[in-house]
Structure 1
């Protein structure tokens, strides 16, 4: 007999509500959260923490740190994290590679966890970064450390789909972004609410201000609530950062860890500088890379066009190490892929601009080479910070022009940057690649174009530097630098051309004024000697038939001299047509107006004449639009049999038309003439058709006769029957075929002519009998004729 139970089985113990596993887990979470809050409140800020395990952190954060192999605290982390856990505003400054990213990510995770932040609360923390690469790196560290938390995090940077970002913004708890894209979403995304924001973090705050994001950051701060926690971190503190701190921080705590240090850079970093003239820099860099093939190298340039040219040139030279390049105007996907590829490489060389100088963590970088001098000491500190990170060793080389040495060293000394001088060993490692670059530029016009663009961008960057005591464009050997890049001549720079024009313009006035103290360019008075031209000069001055030749010609042509290429291209006029408007100086028209001397009047076929009374209007004469306007409307001409040109449509005068008679008579006469022309043309067409048929028939007969004669020649020894058969075949070939009527030159008869085999009583038709055979098709071969003959003999 079986027993039935209702509800749970009879053998299960009855549990109370307090024994439910979910309620027990919830109770443990509440107890842990309350104890964590108590520990944070009792946290002693004077205590020096060395391990993450000793900090009052949640179990989720500790597990994430352990899984990411973060165990020891750095100096900036030990000072900043306790203050941030107590919700203090922080202005932090530390050396590059000192772990500032974790110093603000851990407080972000912990503060939101203690408040039990969820998707219903909206955005809780906003982290702003100056560059896309740094923002992507911060986001990756956040994913690794916060992998066990339940927060939703997003990366909002330029170059991605805005629509996709707008759909997900409302569900994000933590956002890592760049200033421009964040301001765009604050203005355009309606569902994006930042009213509950708890924390704002600005990483590399000085760089954010230097890159022109000051107005964007100010606008973002205006959208955010005032009751929030704000943290600013940077390797260097400037006046702009102080301005931003006054704007967004309340009772901030300044955390600096390198004020009392011996150096503003990591102690494990070995720093050297090399005095090298500008024309020799490229050879020195190539020799250095050739001697460091087993190293990981970052080379900094001052402009993106230099990066492009150096990368393309060295890629052709093949120094023996993987080459990469990274600059600001690349697509986001390319930049991120290049960053990831270089991070994963063991030995490689990357050419980059200062977009890489801030915050990016490339593991195990051996060398940082600064090909161009940094604009200030802060930029130098950030550049060399790509190596010797987290206490590891690294080396840095700064290449200085002799004119830059004193000023740059003085600036670095003020920032407590220890740097030593080294010299290049004259040996096998020093290669002269100028001739190779010259040949490459001649063979590849695009590389030549990149080279002169790189030269112009470098000269412009030097000219725009603020510290003129260090960067004086007149102290650089620009001609030698252009030659080292493989260029045939020194490209003209616009700002230089303007200064030279102003100097030449003021020189005659100074000379005429009679002022003894006025400066007059003595070189301008001296006659210029004819420059010796080499085969390489003529080789490079040849016009390349591509889109880049025009750009190169404009930049290399000196002082607007259009004849500077005269001896390079002797056939100057070939395929280089310029539309000019000829002036008819012999025109003796009825115009009696007095024309001033030097003024030209161009007669216009379409309207008002064009007066040339200034250089601007004289230059306007080469305009294609003006040439078409002066020519007037185009007319179409036709040529008769005698070659005389006539208008396409000519209208007759009305009087001449009426003089020939009434319109009806002229119409009838025109119709009769046209009908007669058509009749004559029809007769001519019929004669032509008869002639064609006659020629066709004669050709067919000749073909048959030729075949019969060939057969008879081969059978001369045949019997009499064969000869008779051949004669019969010849006779049959001459007979008309049934249905075919022989044409004559006379008119076609109304009644068909009788054949030789027809009687008088046969009538109109041809009766098929014993003497008539009807062939379905015209016989073409001897076998067909034999078949016809056999039919007749039966």
Structure 2
């Protein structure tokens, strides 16, 4: 049939075949109606299956045994999730039926899928769309865990039409707020989510269907308590709530804060003999604080073909250990991760460690919960965790889901007994191991050398020391963490520090106690503590102005005044002074007699004079309370101490004075002093003469080079003038750099007649030594221009004479 022909009965311009198909095909509206009807029927069947589901059935072993929609089942199958774990088998059926769930299971047991599958099914059965707003909110304590949850959600929910977002900070709040209103599922951290709820206009959470708290015990701790309470106040009461953690909280106060309705408690391993995975080998090492870094270094050197996570108590310790070990090059790739890093850096480090085969990651507790690093061989806890729950979460980074793993804990001798009790109470099996003597190696000298060479590393070491001691001081469990028994001097030395840094919080308490001691003594007791038989002062008794002055211990004028009174009152002392009239001796103040005369109540009234050495030759006599206080101020003691001498260090690190005097006997053996002086003067004079000859030769060479350059310039000028004399006058284009008005200026003015013979060509300006060889100054100004219109003059050598400097100045002024 021809291309333009139609069948009989067909409308003009319409092909017969197309018209036939249009008549037989169903209408689009009918197809949509049929599709919607089939979807409603499938949804009804799915809801019926969920209602008939028995959560306690033992026949549920695979994901295919659960009443799931096709989109979820296909996503799980494509992500290779087939068999249900214990916590998934217990929690997912309850969550599908709409119950609130408290889920507790060992680390690495698949808790993430236990709440993501119910989230997808909840929104699917509710026919949720992007126009319905936020339907599910998943809260995680750390950014790394939130990113991991979001990645798993993308894998299993790839066939759903829900929109999901990740809100963890690290980027612009405005940028996140623009996309927030279109999200159906949000994975977030508490602080960032609360910030959006308070500041993002139009963000509606009133239709929220399900709330999930991963690592719920950590989120309900004091660190997140205020943020979580404020966040829950924004959420509707009619919602489903799921709480999951390896160590679940069952406190009534926590459950009431979250408005849980008859929650179902699921503990997949409650009857297990151990709170940690059975395929995890756990041990601990008792190492003094001063040897902790030595032990850690030996451990890394022994396990170079392993993937290791080392937990430390603070970010400053992480930075110091990472920077110092990186300089020492243990032979394994080193990474570090802490909460002070930027979000992009944290994501990059997490990715690098996940893909590495052998590496060591120094980290704080930001990765202690929920984060799944593949194939971790060792978890090393260099610092004792704050409680047994933190220990369980840390060791859970290895031995994930039926894989093997090993963990080792470093304990200080004072921490051993108390912390082992905590682990025993939590049913954590652990055994003690000893470090082989052959594997021990002290790295104190190397760290001290690096700290001496790098001020930044020394600063990090000081901060690491202070942060560790502060963390121990603030720990609540004083049965485990005993601050007073720590060897702080040895710990500072092990970090490579020359001295023990001053701890401000400890210093403040000491100073406060010292300042309040004299006040307490003055206001609490008798008028004279030395004899004890004086009458007690009443509490409300008024003291006179002079009594208050007498009780003060730091008044030099008052002390001298009472000293004179004592000298006048004691004739024996006067006779001694007259007898020793011409003798010169140091006068020591008798504080006991002085305070007794003044009625002092200070406990230091019987202080004996003593001499304190401040250096090799300087001494300080402590004969008064003011001198006693000098010992507490380094700044005030400086004027009494010896002046320091400058030292230099040789190649072996030994210190020597800048100028060292030779021994007198050795000097005498060298000969008479006059002869030595003459030899020294002759030797120095010879050095001066040699240097003078070299200087003269150098100056002569420079003058010769200058003359050659000047002759070369003169030859070039002569050649240029000869070439110009041989050529006729030529007109150049304005684009060649010549003055475009030069031709106009050469034309005669109206009313004037100038003969050809009288018109003289303009004299060519002599080219300066610094100008371009091709086109003189104009060529320089054209070819030697840089950005900003500045002229650059190239010089073959630095100007030597006054004429050169004048020529250079003239060239610059002509610009």
Please indicate the TM-score interval, normalised by the length of the shorter structure. Answer: 0.5 to 0.7
Instruction: Report the CA distance between 1:39 and its aligned residue.
Output: 0.8
- Quote how far apart the aligned CAs of 1:274 are: 0.5
Cα contact 2:466–2:501 (8 A) shared by 1: yes
1:497 aligns with 2:507: yes
Partner residue in 1 for 2:42: 32
1:466 aligned partner: 476
**Closer, same or farther: CA 363–528 of 1 in aligned 2, 3 Å:** farther
Shift of 1:526: 12
- After superposition, give the CA deviation of every residue in 1:552-578 in whole Å (9 maximum; x if it has no partner): xxxxx9954135796684379xxxxxx
Distance (Å, rounded) in 2 between the aligned partners of 1:295 and 1:205: 32
Q: 1:334 aligns with which of 339, 345, 349?
A: 345
Q: Report the alpha carbon displacement of residue 320 of structure 1 after superposing the two structures with TM.
A: 0.7
Residue number in structure 1 paired with 2:645? 570
Q: Which has the larger radius of gyration?
A: 1
Residue 151 of structure 1, CA deviation? 0.4
Q: Deviations over 1:82-121 (max 9, x none)?
A: 0000111111111111111111100000111111110111
Moved more, 378-387 or 497-506: 497-506
Counterpart position of 1:268? 279
Summarize the alignment of residues 644-793 of structure 1 with structure 2, pairs less than 5 Å apart: none
> Which residue in the other structure is 2:85 paired with?
74
Equivalent residue in structure 1 for 2:219, among 204, 208, 218: 208
Residue 430 (1) aligns with residue 425 (2): no
Equivalent-residue separation in structure 1 for 2:313 and 2:119 (angstroms): 36
* Alpha-carbon displacement from aligned partner over 1:298-321 (angstroms, at most 9, x marks no partner): 111111110110010011011011
Q: Contact conserved, 1:209 with 1:240, CA < 8 A, in 2?
A: no
Counterpart of 2:718?
none
Asked if residue 3 in structure 1 is aligned to residue 7 in structure 2, the reply is yes
Equivalent in the alignment of 2:161: 150
Quick one: distance in 1 between partners of 2:321 and 2:493? 14
Structure 1 partner of 2:322: 311
Change beyond 3 A, Cα 1:15–1:96: same
Aligned partner of residue 380 in structure 2, secondary structure: strand
Instruction: Report the secondary structure of 2:273's partner residue.
Output: coil
CA shift for structure 1 position 226: 1.2
Give the distance between the partners of 2:273 and 2:324, measured in 1 at CA.
41
Q: In the alignment, which residue of structure 2 is the partner of 1:222?
A: 233
Change (3 A) 1:358 1:515: farther
Offset at residue 430 of structure 1 (A): 1.9
Alignment partner of 2:382 out of 357, 371, 381: 371
Q: Per-residue deviation at 1:212?
A: 2.1
DSSP 3-state at the match of 2:459: helix
Q: 1:383 aligns with which of 389, 394, 417?
A: 394
State the alpha-carbon separation in 1 of the partners of residues 415 and 66 from structure 2.
48
1:440 to 446, 450, 457: 450
- C-alpha deviation, 1:238, in angstroms: 3.5
Question: In 2, are the aligned partners of 1:209 and 1:241 still within 8 Å (CA)?
Answer: no
Query: In the alignment, which residue of structure 2 is the partner of 1:561?
Result: 634
For the residue of structure 2 that corresponds to 1:501, the secondary structure is helix
Asked whether the equivalents of residues 492 and 558 of structure 1 are also in contact (C-alpha less than 8 Å), the reply is: no
Q: Does structure 2 conserve the Cα–Cα contact (< 8 Å) formed by 1:205 and 1:241?
A: no
Cα offset, 1:438, TM superposition: 0.4
Partner of 2:211, secondary structure, is: strand
Paired residue secondary structure (2:223) = coil
C-alpha separation in 1, matches of 2:482 and 2:642: 36
User: Separation in 1 of the partners of 2:228 and 2:484?
Assistant: 38
Cα separation, 1, equivalents of 2:345 and 2:400: 25
Q: 1:558 to 1:329 in 2, by over 3 A?
A: farther
1:480-522 per-residue CA deviation (whole Å, 9 max, x = no partner) reads 0100000001111012213333555577778985799xxx99x
Q: 2:28 & 2:170 partners in 1: Cα distance?
A: 53
The equivalences for 1:503-652 within 5 A come to: 504=514, 513=529, 559-562=632-635, 569-570=644-645
1:87 is aligned, of 76, 83, 98, to: 98
Q: CA deviation at 1:24?
A: 4.9
Q: Report the counterpart of residue 134 of structure 2 in structure 1.
A: 123
Match of 2:813 in 1: none
Tell me by how many angstroms 1:2 deviates. 5.7
Contact 1:206–1:240 (Cα < 8 Å) also in 2? no
Q: 1:24 to 1:497 in 2, by over 3 A?
A: same
Contact in 2 for aligned 1:287/1:431 (Cα 8 Å): yes
CA drift of 1:359 comes to 1.0
Deviation at 1:425, TM superposition (A): 0.5
Call closer, same or farther: CA 1:454–1:531 in 2, change over 3 Å: farther
Q: Deviations over 1:732-772 (max 9, x none)?
A: xxxxxxxxxxxxxxxxxxxxxxxxxxxxxxxxxxxxxxxxx
Cα 1:277–1:189 shift into 2, 3 Å: same
Alignment of 1:229-308 (within 5 A): 229-238=240-249, 242-245=253-256, 247-308=258-319
Partner of 1:55: 66
Q: Secondary structure at the match of 1:390?
A: coil
8 Å Cα contact 1:296/1:349 also seen in 2: yes
Q: Which residue number corresponds to residue 733 of structure 1?
A: none
| Gap change, CA 1:2 and 1:284, over 3 Å in 2 | closer
| In structure 1, distance between residues paired with 2:68 and 2:500 | 63
Separation in structure 1 between the aligned mates of residue 169 and residue 631 of structure 2, nearest angstrom: 41
The corresponding residue for 1:633 is: none
TM-score of the pair, normalised by structure 2: 0.63
- How far apart are 1:23 and its partner, in Å? 5.1
Q: CA RMSD in A?
A: 3.0
1:213 counterpart SS class:
helix
The counterpart of 2:488, out of the listed 465, 473, 478, is 478
Instruction: Give the match for residue 358 of structure 1.
Output: 369
8 Å CA contact 1:366–1:387 kept in 2: the answer is yes
Give the TM-score normalised by structure 1.
0.65
- Counterpart of 1:173? 184
**What are the ranges of 5 or more consecutive residues in structure 1 without an aligned counterpart?**
534-556, 573-775, 778-794
The 3-state SS of whatever aligns with 1:389 is coil
Q: Does the C-alpha gap of structure 1 residues 18 and 463 become closer, same or farther in structure 2, counting only changes over 3 Å?
A: closer
**Are residues 1:405 and 2:409 paired?**
no
| Alpha-carbon distance between aligned partners in 2 of 1:426 and 1:564, rounded to the nearest angstrom | 46
Deviations 1:320-360 (A, max 9, x none): 11111111111111111111111111111011111111111
Moved more, 524-533 or 438-447: 524-533
Q: 1:449 to 1:19 in 2, by over 3 A?
A: closer
Pick closer, same or farther for the CA change 1:140–1:531 going to 2, 3 Å.
Answer: farther
Contact preservation (8 Å) 2:220, 2:254:
no
CA distance in 2, matches of 1:53, 1:33: 17
CA distance 1:194–1:568, change in 2 (3 Å) = farther
Of 560-569 and 414-423, deviating more is: 560-569
Return 382-391 or 7-16, whichever deviates more: 7-16
> Any conservation in 2 of the 1:232–1:245 contact (CA below 8 Å)?
no
SS in 2 for 1:201: strand
